[in-house]
A and B are shown apart, each in its own frame.
Chain A
Amino acid sequence: AQSVTQPDIHITVSEGASLELRCNYSYGATPYLFWYVQSPGQGLQLLLKYFSGDTLVQGIKGFEAEFKRSQSSFNLRKPSVHWSDAAEYFCAVVSSGTYKYIFGTGTRLKVLA
């Protein structure tokens, strides 16, 4: 069965520092991968997605993610974090056999001033 693992429950970084959030997936074929951000009290917003082509994808708010098939990973990065990036981040994979999105358990990002 498909699954998504986000190993880090909480991450704290200083404002201006670089960020990498990890996501590993379990899937037989090439997956469709997504990163979402959830600000407190809000719904989820799509940051970026990958399903083919260039393995480095650019998203909104200065985020990027790299698909690495050999490592079954789709890590999210940002070169310089802003205080407004503090939120919960979810990685998701779509099953090709159904239309179901499977979400990871999320990583809560805290940004220190």
Chain B
Amino acid sequence: DTAVSQTPKYLVTQMGNDKSIKCEQNLGHDTMYWYKQDSKKFLKIMFSYNNKELIINETVPNRFSPKSPDKAHLNLHINSLELGDSAVYFCASSGTATLGYGYTFGSGTRLTVV
């Protein structure tokens, strides 16, 4: 059983397109996250939801819109894709939004914008 699953694993698309990445966790966790990992492996948080409520919204272009239909799902929609959006996007979850709990990560979605 995959704890945090992301689909698709790979996504190649043209500039200007709109795409979505889906994330689901079966751990019963309350909090989910989206992270972006660039080509230098730097990880930066984008968004976090706790029980469907947005609690972290970093300085991310508004072309990126997260949606959490329930606490087990956190999807990421990207409009008007740009070359600079190429990266690996990781979904993660944790048991609570409070401190001290580690994340469980998905295996990532490699987005390539051409």
Contact = CB atoms under 8 A, between A and B. Distances in A.
Given A98-B56, A99-B56, A99-B97, A90 B106 contact: no
A11 B107 CA distance: 24
A43 B106 contact: yes
Contacts of B86: none
B107 to A, nearest CB: 5
Contacts of B108: 41-43
Looking at chain A's contact residues, the main secondary structure is strand
Nearest to A88: B41
A34 interface: yes
B103 interface: yes
Interface size on B, as a range, is 20 to 34
B55 interface: yes
Given A90-B43, A100-B45, A41 B107 contact: yes
Interface in B34-71: 40-45, 48, 50, 55-56
A60 B55 CA distance: 30
B105 A43 contact: yes
Nearest to B45: A100
A51 B97 CA distance: 15
Interface in A69-113: 88, 90, 94, 96, 98-101, 103, 105-106, 108
Given A32-B99, A44-B90, A51-B100, A101 B45 contact: yes
Interface residues of A, number: 24
A106 B41 contact: yes
B24 to A, nearest CB: 14
Nearest to B48: A99
B100 A43 contact: no
Interface of A: 32, 34, 36, 38, 41-46, 49, 51, 88, 90, 94, 96, 98-101, 103, 105-106, 108
